Homo-oligomer: A and B are copies of this chain.
Amino acid sequence: MSQMGAGPVRPIAIIGGTGPAGMWLALRWARAGETVIIGSRERARAEQAAAAIKARVGEHAAVSGLENSAACAAADILVLTVPFEGQAALIKRLKSAMTAGSILIDATVPLAASIGGRASRTVGVWQGSAAEQARELVSNDVSVVAAFHNVSAELMGGDNPLDCDVIVCSDDRDAAQLTRELAAKIPGIRPIDGGKLENARIVEQITALLIGLNIRHKGHAGIRITGLPPIAYR
């Protein structure tokens, strides 16, 4: 990654990326020297978001804004950080715009807030997890990776290093590896190989637990896994 000068740039498109989770991932990756495309239903909104990131990172930041389909066409690393209630519809709409071989990094959490319930609870997803729902909806030539669920959006939007692990689940080992490398570019985040995509069932649930802890204790909770050898954290 961040292959500036060492080959063609491989941009990261953050689809539906004008919400906090998408914006702050864009911020952190732009700071790390990655080329980031923010996608939105309206190009103008995406461009505004890109300008806001540039204003914080500096004019050298490689951040631009595009309409979602154009963002999918311009990148083969796609990141999805939308609320659960919008996930399936967005993937269906963009399916044909995703290029063969793309990697879809899904951070969706099926919070009960999606159906008028609490953000500290989840709803059941037929496929097992939001990430597995995404896998069912994309073409077979797109790899799905689940990651970034348990990162505090508020802390991501700040300037300090984070203090949390990102558990990465996928059935595509190369796509998982690339995602872990992208996660490691954000100061204080330690990526962990979380195994198969089905394990996203648990990783997604953890977010609801952390939201409950945040409400109860007024914090910005994250998790760290202890007791693993260093190899796990790559």
Contact = CB atoms under 8 A, between A and B. Distances in A.
A194 B209 contact: yes
Tell me the dominant secondary structure on chain A's binding face. mixed
Contacts of A213: 192, 194-195, 225, 228, 232
A193 interface: yes
The range of chain A's interface size is: 35 or more
Given A203-B209, A213-B192, A164 B227 contact: yes
B227 A224 contact: no
Interface stretch (A21-29, A32-40, A214-222): A214-222
Contacts of A163: 226-227
A210 interface: yes
A118 to B, nearest CB: 10
A212 interface: yes
14 contacts: A192-B213, A199-B212, A202-B206, A203-B209, A213-B228, A213-B232, A217-B228, A217-B232, A219-B228, A220-B228, A221-B226, A222-B226, A222-B227, A223-B225
Given A120-B199, A193-B217, A219-B232, 15 more contacts: A152-B227, A193-B216, A194-B209, A194-B213, A199-B209, A202-B208, A213-B232, A217-B228, A218-B229, A219-B228, A221-B225, A222-B225, A222-B227, A223-B223, A223-B224
